[in-house]
Structures are given as structure tokens and as C-alpha cells.
Amino acid sequence: MNRIYLDNAATTSVDTQVIDVVCTSMLENNGNPSSTHQFGRTAKASVETARKNIAKHLNVTASELVFTAGGTEADNLILHNAVVHLGAKTVITSLVEHHAVLHPLAHLKKTHNITIEYVAVDDRGVVDLIDLERLLSQTSQQTLVSLMQVNNEVGNLLPMAAVAALCKQYKALFHSDTVQAVGHFPVDLQAIPVDFITASAHKFHGPKGVGFAYFKKGFGVQPLFYGGAQENGARSSTENVHAIVGMEKALDIAIENLEKDTEAIGALKKYFIEQLEAKFLGVAFNGLSAALEKSSYTILSVRFPVVDDMLLFRLDMAGIAVSGGSACQSGSNKGSHVLQAFLSEADAVHTSVRFSFSKYTTKEELDVVLGKLQELL
């Protein structure tokens, strides 16, 4: 049976060069970074070297990065600090954000009585910048805008520069969940002034369970939990040294090969779109995922003109891994909150599948998937 993996927006396979780096670290780097002896100093040096190298890729200073257990923790850390320590009373977000943003905000509303405003999105899930400016202009309170750079389900790209400009104009803080962007798109935080971003290594062929939060210099960071003074007091817990050096290596590889991989993966996505349109009458694409210049080259959300609740299961039984919505909701039968936010009722009942590609995806695999879809549908 073929085993074909097209769920890379959920997680990517770990690059073999990253595995080598992690294994070497596990064999040779045994100290606790908080220990003062030579074993601890060696481990600390590995962590700080990784921090400096990752910071260079983002055009920031090392002190602005806090290592976390992934994107969800990073989002929580940022949102908590923005509300509790930086005084944000109003948060503007959208209904197409990841639950790593929406759920912490719901909790902060209960515990700190913040106001949450949801900016309008159109029938493609595109954030309405006119409505964003309207919301920004209507509040005199300290405001945080939280909008993701790349939508994890439909791949829509946020016009980061335009949002950043509006936030600057109205003196609002700007947080962007960039989990689907870091390692896949150039991220220069001097060119586009964002106050906070998040990243997760397993989205760009690094280890699971490690990521980082970026806090623009001058804000300071208060921890979510206590019991140690690691990460300059921002995150109590012994640093995951081996995963951190693996993340460093994964990002190095991603940045080095960014242009080549973007072109190759984008060509595969274009081919898949063309074949789907040729083979399936009435097929449609959610959001802007079929607009190659306005969506991530790694994500394609396809809406088939059928109602088939078992399609994902049957693809899985055929050895083909895809997603019907956010992968962080695997096993959920509630459906995608992102698609529900902008699809009409008539479109929402049709079966949607998210295909997401990586540098390991091949045209031959896509042909197998197309054939199996024809068989099943």
C-alpha cells in the first residue's frame, strides 16, 4: 500500500540533517544549561548560539527570543503578557484564527474582562482592512491586534505591512501567529514592525515540542508559570537543549533553500490545482488557497461537490494522509471553525479536504492521490 503524506501543515517530517544534529547533542551535550560546571556551560552555550543564529534569520537580537514548547505556548505567553502586563484592554482578532489564539483570548476575557472585537472577513476568509481601521479608530484603550500571517487551514496570506501600518497609526500592539510562515517565507522584523510573533519547529522539518516567541525589545516578559528563572526569567523550565539545536538546524536549512523549495513546491501545487479542475467537475477551493500569489505555496483547501463524511477515513485506509480542517483538532467531528466563519451554508455542507505539501512531496505521489480520489468519488 502506498503511504503518501500530504498533511504538512499539521506537521512535517524531520529532516535527516536535523536528526543527526539532535542525536549528536543527545550523545555529547549532557549538561543542564542552568548548571555552572563545564557540562552546564557547554549546554548553555549551545542554547545561546542557537538563539543568536535564529535571531539573525529574523533580523532581531537574541534577547528578543524566548524558547517555548511550541507555537501554542508562545501564543499564550504573548497574549497573557499583552493583557496582564502591557495593559491591553481591547483585543482585535478574527474568527479564522487558530484556537491557540482564540481560546486563550476567551480565557483572558473571563479572567481580566477584556473586550474582544472580531474584524470582518469576506467570503474567502480575507481580513477586511477597512473594518480593521474602523475598529482601531473606535477605541481609546490600549489595543492589541492579533492576526495570523498565514492561515493554517486555507493558506490565506495576511498583508502584514498594511496591518502593521494601521497598528502603528493607532498606537496598537501587533501580534501575529507566524507558525505557518517562519521557515516558509522571508520574515524580516525590521522591515515590517511586528511586536510579537510565534514559531514552531515541527512546521519546518524540525523536532516537535519546541518553538519560540518573539517580544520586541523594551516590552519585557513575565512568565506564565513559576519555579525557575530560565530564559532570563521569562519561562521557568529546563531548556530543551537538543530540540533547540535541532530547531536551529532546521531553520538554517529552510532559509538556505527557501527560494528553491518555494519554486518546486509551488509548481506541484499549481499542477495539483490544474489536475483537480480537469478531473472533478464542480470542484472549488476554499479561501484564497488556489490563488498562488495570495496564499501559501504549501496549503490547498479543496471543496468537492459531494457530501462524504467518510472521505478522509477512506483516504487514510488507502495510505493517504490529509486533513479536513485544523490538524490540532484531529479526531474532532465538529468541523472547521475557519471554514464555518466564511462559507455559505450551501458550501459548508460539502466535503472539504486540506492538502499540504513539503519539499519531500513528489508529482508521482500527487498522481496517485488524484487517481484514488477519482476512484472514491
User: What residues are annotated to the active site?
Assistant: 328
What's the distance, CA 217 to chain centroid?
Answer: 22
Please give, one letter per residue, the 3-state secondary structure of the chain: CCCEECECCCCCCCCHHHHHHHHHHHHHCCCCCCCCCHHHHHHHHHHHHHHHHHHHHHCCCHHHEEEECCHHHHHHHHHHHHHHHCCCCEEEECCCCCHHHHHHHHHHHHHHCCEEEECCECCCCCECHHHHHHHHHCCCCCEEEECCCECCCCCEECCHHHHHHHHHHCCCEEEEECCCCECCECCCCCCCCCCEEEEEHHHCCCCCCCEEEEECCCCCCCCCCCCCCCHHHCCCCCCCHHHHHHHHHHHHHHHHCHHHHHHHHHHHHHHHHHHHHHHCCCCEECCCCCCCCCECCCEEEEECCCCCCCHHHHHHHCCEECECCCHHHCCCCCCCHHHHHHCCHHHHCCCEEEEECCCCCCHHHHHHHHHHHHHHC
Q: Are 375 and 318 in contact (CB under 8 A)?
A: no
First to last CA, the chain: 19
Angle between helices 258-279 and 241-256 (to 10 degrees): 80
User: How many CA atoms are closer than 13 Å to the CA of 10, on its beta-carbon side?
Assistant: 15
Cell numbers of 250, please? 532546521
